[in-house]
Structure 1
Amino acid sequence: MKYTLIATATFGLESVVANELRSLGYEDLKVENSKVEFKGDERDIARCNLWLRTADRVLIKAAEFKAESFEELFQGTKNVNWGDIIPQDGKMHITGKSVKSKLYSVPDCQSIVKKAVVESMKRKYKTDWFSEDGPVYKTEVAILKDIVTLTIDTSGKGLHKRGYRENAGDAPLKETLAAALVLLSRWNPSRTLVDPFCGSGTILIEAGLIGKNIAPGLNREFVSETWPNMKKEMWDELREEARGLINDEEFKILGSDVDYRVLNTAKENIRLAGLEDYIYVQKLPVQEFSSKKKYGCIITNPPYGERMGETKEVNKLYKDMGRVFKELDTWSIFVITSHPEFQKHYGKKATKNRKLYNGTLQCYYYQYFGPLPPRRKNKDIDIEENNL
């Protein structure tokens, strides 16, 4: 069955999610605030849940219509053939939100949508009673400026839940955002990658998963796996295919921090992700960082100075970063922070910056692009040219 699907995204990451979808072969994308729409079937639902690194969830869009009254909401919802998606024993869990709309009472909207879904289900199954003791179908009624969008969540837990991060630091970076930082940097495994404020290791691990081409959802479960139309054989086949696509690339990713406790957490997370042969962490203040490597990348999430009394300390830290990183003249540097005067204290204007959100906190991703490494000559071409 073909569906309209929605990959939801943190504000600012819509184009990154769209690029991921294009790389997976999807076309005719509709990019809007916090979401990307595309078409797909059951196999595409499973594939996107397994492979999308920067999306928050994969949803089925059931309907979209205008409603300025509860009756319009009821009829618009009832017109959907819910029985084509939800089995007779399906648990119909309704959530909601309303922004700038005449129908502003979310509990009332949820109640009306539930009644309308049940009425639609009665048409399909010719019964007045539903046990709702089967698989969960979490349906959201989202109303924005009187436009109702009805969706069903196929992911369950958010896609940032990869399964490797049992513990996090004090200010954890969401896995989806960390993956976006790596993708936006255009890093590839031929280049050294360093995070000198690695914390619990999220940026390092997401880079490792990208470097090895490991599907981020490979080691977790999704709510749609419990649905009768999403066959176990299909999921098994797609997971086996994903395992076969893991490459044998050899590379080293380096992380450091000044906190032993958080480094122990990072080591455990790296182990759980199966990347201990590729990621190395050590206790080291950023002021002591140096490297003889060329054309490396630094991708980092330093302290922001959000707490009272930390401003002077963080300003000095950014100044130290500018001094230390200045020596890395062939490197590319990528820093995410909410500090409004980062560039002033760092001492250099970014090549490019991009507004992103770390949770609800507005940040900027400061991108300092260094020169690209020289291209390696193909040995076969060299031999052929020499023979000429």
Structure 2
Amino acid sequence: MEYDLIATTTFGLEGITAKELKALGYEDLRTENGKVHFTGDEMDIAIANIHLRTADRILIKMAEFEARSFEELFQGTKNVKWSDIIPIDGIMHVNGKSVKSTLHSVPDCQSIVKKAIVDSMSNSYGISQFEENGPLYKIEVSILKDVVTLTIDTSGPGLHKRGYREEAGAAPLKETLAAAMVLISRWKEDFILVDPFCGSGTILIEAAMIMQNIAPGMCRSFTCETWPTMDSDVFEQVREGAERAIKNKDIKLIGYDIDGRILKVARSNAEKAGVSKYIEFQKRDFNDFSNSNRYGFIISNPPYGERLGEKKEVEQLYKIFGSFKKKFFNWDYNVLTSYEGFEGPFGRKSTKNRKLYSGKLKCYYYQYFDNELIKNDGDMLINHI
């Protein structure tokens, strides 16, 4: 069965997720805020869930229509053939959101959509009461400027939950954002990669998984695997293919942190992700940064105001960071921070920067392209996959 599919993303990552889908062989993509639209069958749902590194969820789009009254919302929802996907015992859990729309009461919209789905299911199955004791179907009613979009979530827990990270530091970076930071860097396997503020190791773990072609969703399950319409063999086939595609490149990654406890967590996370042999975690103060390599890469999410609390402390940290850049002038630096004045204390304007979001926090990703051995021919995602 062919579906209209949506890969949801954090704002700012849509283009990166679209490139991932293109690299996986998908065409006719349509991108909008927080979403990448594509089409596919059950196999494609499995591929997207298991392989996409920067998407949040994979949704099936059931319908899209205008509604300015509850009656229009009810009829538009009822007209959808929900029984094509939801079985007679399916649990129909409806959540919603409404932005700049006439129908602004989300609880009322959720209630009406649920009633309309039950009516549609009643027409299909010939019963009026549903026990809802089977597999879960998370349905979302999203209304933007009076346009209703109805979707069913295939992923379950967000795709950032790879399964390797049980603990994190005080300000954890989502795995999806960490992967995006690596994918839009120019890092290649020939060069050392250092994160001098590594915390629980997320950036380095995602980098190692990318370089070794380890699919991020290979070791977790997805809610749609419980659906009777989804052939269980499909996910197994995709996982087996992903397993066969894993590489064993000779790469070197180093992470520093001054907190021994969080480094223990980082080592445990790397072990669970299957990349511990590629990453060396060192208990070291950032001020003691040193390396004998003439060329290398830094990808990092250093502390900023929300974490340190003191503007002067943050600026001093960035000044030191900038002084290291002068010493390691042939290294590419890739730095994510919410501190908008970063380039000032760092002492240099970035080659490129882009706005990204860490949760709801607006950040900027400052990139310094100085490794003369790397041609500036695009990001790692294009060069690597």
TM-score strictly above 0.5: yes
Residue 237 (1) aligns with residue 237 (2): yes
Contact 1:295 1:370 in 2 (8 A): no
Q: What TM-score results when the alignment is normalised by the length of structure 2?
A: 0.95
Residue 251 (1) aligns with residue 262 (2): no
Higher alpha-carbon Rg: 1
For 1:272 and 1:372, the matched residues in 2 are separated by: 35
Contact 1:256 1:282 in 2 (8 A): yes
Q: Tell me the equivalent position of 2:345.
A: 345
TM-aligned CA deviation for residue 137 of structure 1: 0.5
Query: How many residues are matched?
Result: 375
Q: Deviations over 1:210-242 (max 9, x none)?
A: 011000001111000101121111111111110
Residue 144 (1) aligns with residue 152 (2): no
Q: What TM-score results when the alignment is normalised by the length of structure 1?
A: 0.95
Residue 290 (1) aligns with residue 290 (2): yes
Larger displacement relative to structure 2 (171-180 or 253-262): 253-262
For 1:116 and 1:36, the matched residues in 2 are separated by: 27
TM-aligned CA deviation for residue 163 of structure 1: 0.3
For 2:354 and 2:188, the matched residues in 1 are separated by: 21
RMSD: 1.2
Give the letter for the 1:114 counterpart: K
Taking the TM superposition and a 5 Å limit, the aligned residue runs for 1:65-144 are 65-144=65-144
TM-aligned CA deviation for residue 68 of structure 1: 0.2
5+ long unaligned stretches in structure 1: 376-388
Aligned residue for 1:277, secondary structure, equals: helix
- Structure 1 segments of 4 or more deviating over 3 A? none
Q: Tell me the equivalent position of 2:382.
A: none
Larger displacement relative to structure 2 (329-338 or 258-267): 258-267
For 1:37 and 1:168, the matched residues in 2 are separated by: 32
TM-aligned CA deviation for residue 262 of structure 1: 1.2
For 2:191 and 2:283, the matched residues in 1 are separated by: 22
For 2:113 and 2:374, the matched residues in 1 are separated by: 59
TM-aligned CA deviation for residue 161 of structure 1: 0.2
Give the letter for the 2:116 counterpart: A
TM-aligned CA deviation for residue 66 of structure 1: 0.4
Contact 2:186 2:374 in 1 (8 A): no
Q: Tell me the equivalent position of 1:196.
A: 196
TM-aligned CA deviation for residue 309 of structure 1: 4.5
| Structure with more contact order per residue of length (Cα contacts < 8 Å, sep ≥ 6) | 2
For 2:71 and 2:301, the matched residues in 1 are separated by: 49
Q: Tell me the equivalent position of 2:176.
A: 176
Taking the TM superposition and a 5 Å limit, the aligned residue runs for 1:353-372 are 353-372=353-372
Aligned residue for 2:47, secondary structure, equals: helix
Give the letter for the 1:91 counterpart: I
For 1:276 and 1:41, the matched residues in 2 are separated by: 35
Contact 1:56 1:160 in 2 (8 A): yes
Larger displacement relative to structure 2 (62-71 or 323-332): 323-332
**Distance of aligned partners of 1:190 and 1:122 in 2 relative to their CA distance in 1, 3 Å threshold:** same
Aligned residue for 2:277, secondary structure, equals: coil
For 2:205 and 2:289, the matched residues in 1 are separated by: 20
Q: Deviations over 1:156-189 (max 9, x none)?
A: 0000000000000000000000000000103222
For 1:290 and 1:332, the matched residues in 2 are separated by: 15
For 2:55 and 2:248, the matched residues in 1 are separated by: 26
5+ long unaligned stretches in structure 2: 376-385
Aligned residue for 1:170, secondary structure, equals: coil
TM-aligned CA deviation for residue 369 of structure 1: 0.6
Q: Tell me the equivalent position of 1:59.
A: 59
**Distance of aligned partners of 1:289 and 1:197 in 2 relative to their CA distance in 1, 3 Å threshold:** same
Give the letter for the 1:158 counterpart: G
- Identity across matched positions, percent: 61
**Distance of aligned partners of 1:309 and 1:187 in 2 relative to their CA distance in 1, 3 Å threshold:** closer
Larger displacement relative to structure 2 (260-269 or 171-180): 260-269
TM-aligned CA deviation for residue 295 of structure 1: 2.8
Q: Deviations over 1:332-356 (max 9, x none)?
A: 0000001121100000100010000
**Distance of aligned partners of 1:207 and 1:374 in 2 relative to their CA distance in 1, 3 Å threshold:** closer
Aligned residue for 1:298, secondary structure, equals: strand
